[in-house]
Amino acid sequence: MNIGFLHSQIRADEKLLLNELRSRGHNILKIDVRKHLFSIKNPASELVDLDIVIDRCIAQSQSKFSSLFFCKYSIPVINPPSVVENCSDKVKTSLLLEHAGVPTPETIVAFSAESAIEAIESFGYPCIIKPVVGSWGRLLAKIDTRNAAEAIVEHKATLGHYEHKVFYIQKFINKPNRDIRVVSVDGSPIAAMTRTSDHWLTNAAKGAIAAEYDIPKEVLDLVKKSSEVVGGGLLGIDLMELDGGGFTVHEINPGTEFKALNSCVEPDVPSLIVNWIESTVNSKRGNS
């Protein structure tokens, strides 16, 4: 296959995928999104013969807009722009999950500092405030007091970007010092891990300890439904365990990282991802 590999940086995750693709004899065209020019008319000549593009951009804005161009060029891309849009915008993700009946943390969105404080007070303390776009646990805050709420809301209100004027506020989930990450392809799990930390943030990027997780049927069902809600593809679906039993889906990642997962599970994650990519291309060929 001729595979386009869209990237901005080549991290450990990208190296794992590239090594697996090359070991199978696929032709790889690395496309640095920072240097490539995207025309609204026709694709660059080197893109014409591509069977599929794997989007591994770090910035979600790069993924969102570059994937639109590949769709315009009739080149399949993983993940499609609609999936990137549904997952990278936390407001949209929350609305889609709630509408589909997938358990997700109670969320209020406010558009002024005054109404944000009102929303925080309605939840009580602690509660969580997040950026509407972001990853790796950055710019999240656990708000424990009214004074902290006023300070954080004031800081966000004075920041320049319009997204900081959207206050995305969630009820705090008292999880058991861990959350669950499931990497799935079109709703079928490849592997899963827990991420455990003494800190309330349990992102691997924040130093949480990863361990393999045996997926119960309830989580399997939630992963399948969550994937369907946002449009499928290669996803990292994050869940938390609830005090009274059950789970809640709090985030879906369209450009999921998997190096921490691959280091703690028996299945070879990049190999299974490439299996799915190959089957996706073959399926599209069969339907054409």
Give 150's contacts (C-beta < 8 A, 6+ positions apart).
117
pLDDT in tens, 147-206: 999 999 998 888 766 677 899 999 999 888 899 999 999 999 999 999 999 888 887 777
pLDDT at res. 60: 85
pLDDT in tens, 128-142: 999 887 665 567 899
pLDDT in tens, 233-252: 999 999 999 998 999 999 99
Cα 227 to Cα 229: distance, rounded to the nearest angstrom: 5
Query: Please, which pLDDT band fits residue 112 given cuts at 50, 70 and 90?
Result: very high
Indicate whether 31 pLDDT > 90: yes
Q: What is the chain's alpha carbon radius of gyration, rounded to the nearest angstrom? A: 20
Tokens of 113: 């500092």
CA of 91: how far to CAs of 104, 106, 128, 255, in Å? 12, 12, 14, 18
In this prediction the pTM is 0.92
Angle at 210 between CA 260 and CA 130, to 5 degrees: 85
Which DSSP symbol is given to 73? T
Mean pLDDT computed over 270-287? 89
pLDDT at res. 132: 87
Task: Write down the mean pLDDT value for the chain.
Answer: 92
Indicate whether 218 pLDDT > 90: yes
pLDDT at res. 55: 97
**Strands, DSSP E only, in 51-208?**
52-56, 77-78, 107-110, 127-130, 141-143, 167-171, 178-185, 188-196
Q: Classify strands 107-110 and 167-171 as parallel, antiparallel or unpaired.
A: antiparallel
Q: What percent of the chain lies above the pLDDT cut of 70?
A: 95
Which domains are assigned to the chain? 2-78 (3.40.50.20), 87-91+96-100+175-275 (3.30.470.20), 106-171 (3.30.1490.20)
pLDDT in tens, 8-24: 999 999 999 999 999 99
Mean pLDDT computed over 26-50? 95
pLDDT at res. 265: 96
Q: What percent of the chain lies above the pLDDT cut of 90?
A: 81
